[in-house]
Amino acid sequence: MTNPDWWRGAVFYQIYPRSFQDSTGTGVGDLAGITARLPYVADLGVDAIWLSPFFTSPMADMGYDIADYEGVDPMFGTLDDFSRLVDTAHSLGLKVMIDQVFSHASDQHAWFQMSKSSRDIPRADWFVWADPKPEGSPPNNWQSVFGGSAWTWNPRRKQYYMHNFLASQPDLNFHTPAVQDAVLGYLKTWLDRGVDGFRLDSVNYCFHDPLLRDNPPVTDWSTNDVPDSNAYGYQDHLYDKTRPEMLPFLGRVRALVDRYPGRATVGEIGDGPRSLATMAAYTAGDERLHMAYSFDMLGPGFSPQHMRGCVEAFDAAARAHGGGQSWPCWAFSNHDVPRHASRWAAAGRDWDALCRFAATLLLSLRGSVCLYQGEELGLPEAELAYEDLTDPYGIAFWPEFKGRDGCRTPFPWADRTGAGFTQAEKPWLPIPEAHRARAAATQMGRADAPVETYRRLLALRRRTPALIRGALTFLDWSETGLAFRRDDDAETLLCLFNFADSPAEYAPETGTVLTPLWPEAGAAQKGTVTLPPLGILIARIEAD
């Protein structure tokens, strides 16, 4: 972990602070609770944690609406609690990445309170303001991700302000140099506090088209990652995000981070059909982000063609944007999408076999990896009643879209009331019985349990350099099978994944011997390999 390139191939464990561990009996998780549970995370064998927002916030969007970028919300504790968390993580060999949400702020932030008061004061242009059309309507057709127009009227300024998300999340105006300087200033504050880097939320949303041109309509719905119940998905978002001005600003972010050896950045890219190309552009060379991930593997696609297509599309874009040096960060689940085990489940499919399959595939890909808390337990998406929802996105689009609360429920540590998460009578979100049955305490030490599978896979990855940085080459197999090699100077590995619900055979090259590394049991063999439904194999290729 002293290697400045530790992030290249690292595995990050995402912690959603509200839902990891409540140490105060409020029903809401906090920083002290996270600190107490870090030995569990370290024991899994990951390299770093990523903390979702814990900053001062009115919590209109569960902390992604920040009112003070340099403060800790009292709900989660204090700056001293954060310092203890960082120190404990470092003592356990874990790096600490924190969310940064600078495409927008809370409408309670002092900057916005000043900006909305007048057109003729300092910070008047720190947010995106625009005059109405002559008849008073918004300046263009841009839509909010969370529904409705991306513009809200302010009677004092007699202008509209832009918000890509909630009306209480006004967009910062990155065309104003002072805004860029302010953002870099608070990044420096957290670097000085000892964090090892940043996950940059909605990073391609920072800049907008200064001409405020209308977005054109979508022409290819097959590449749309927004549900058709949301009007946002009807536009091709050419002008309200992913603008070319972002690349020089990423250079400023990288220059700052590089002043702190061993720090890293990972960007979240939501750009529809252009996401993988944007990932590559944002990570090209050594002057932008270290790595990025998109939503391409966070959707319903579960097929060898989809997985291969994502990797090959990123690789092609990486070659186009910088000679292939861009670095991906892959994820199957996070706090914004239904848990992948539920997304990819099918009638009659073995749940734990699917969890093992997904874990092995994710940890075999070339790139860094994000694991989301609870996926190592094989948790399904929680089914919640409308009256239990807290997510404004889900509340707005229920029942066609149920929102993000189902993947944000508290972590089940034990199969008892409160699930070992809280002593409060009622946690902030319900804890399903199906989650308690898969609690960490019920799985620990059971060789066939998902959590033990993750632990052994992470150990295999750590001791197998070819799985971390080795080249990846796809091999043609079948419509229902994914095959690829991982090569480094020391060894060549064969990775096989049978997506089918029936057995499949793979014939390796003549004259090779396969020595299985995963599953652990298995003797070296020559000739055809037979994989059961959802069968997997990672084997060293050796000469006969």
Q: Which residues are catalytic?
A: 201, 268
Report the DSSP pairing between strands 68-72 and 55-56: antiparallel
Distance CA 342, CA 361 (A): 17
Give yes or no for a contact between 500 and 482, defined as CB atoms under 8 angstroms apart: no
Name every residue whose Cβ is closer than 8 Å to that of residue 384 and which is 6 or more positions away in sequence. Answer: 402, 405, 406, 409, 429, 430
| SS3 assignment for 27-90 | CCCCHHHHHHHHHHHHHHCCCEEEECCCEECCCCCCCCCCCEEEEECCCCCCHHHHHHHHHHHH
Phi, psi angles (nearest 5°) of residue 384: -115, 150
Distance CA 427, CA 418 (A): 7
Distance CA 272, CA 223 (A): 7
| CA dist list (Å): 205 to 9, 56, 312, 517 | 26, 22, 25, 42
State how far Cα 27 lies from the chain centre. Answer: 25
Instruction: Give the CA dihedral 135, 139, 143, 145, nearest 10 degrees.
Output: -120
Helix crossing, 246-258 with 177-192: angle to 10°? 30
Give yes or no for a contact between 212 and 206, defined as CB atoms under 8 angstroms apart: no
Bridge partners of 161?
129, 152
State how far Cα 258 lies from the chain centre. Answer: 23
Distance CA 267, CA 253 (A): 12
| DSSP per-residue codes, 360-404 | HHHTTSSSEEEEETTGGGTPPPP---GGG---HHHHHHTTTS--S
Give yes or no for a contact between 410 and 419, defined as CB atoms under 8 angstroms apart: yes
Cis ω before 244 (30° cut-off from 0): no
Distance CA 373, CA 41 (A): 9
Tell me the two tokens of residue 323.
């000679």
Name every residue whose Cβ is closer than 8 Å to that of residue 105 and which is 6 or more positions away in sequence. Answer: 65, 66, 67, 69, 111, 112, 169, 170, 172
Q: Give the side-chain half-sphere CA count within 13 A for 66.
A: 22
Tell me the two tokens of residue 189.
């504050």
Helix crossing, 31-44 with 450-462: angle to 10°? 70
Give yes or no for a contact between 484 and 475, defined as CB atoms under 8 angstroms apart: yes
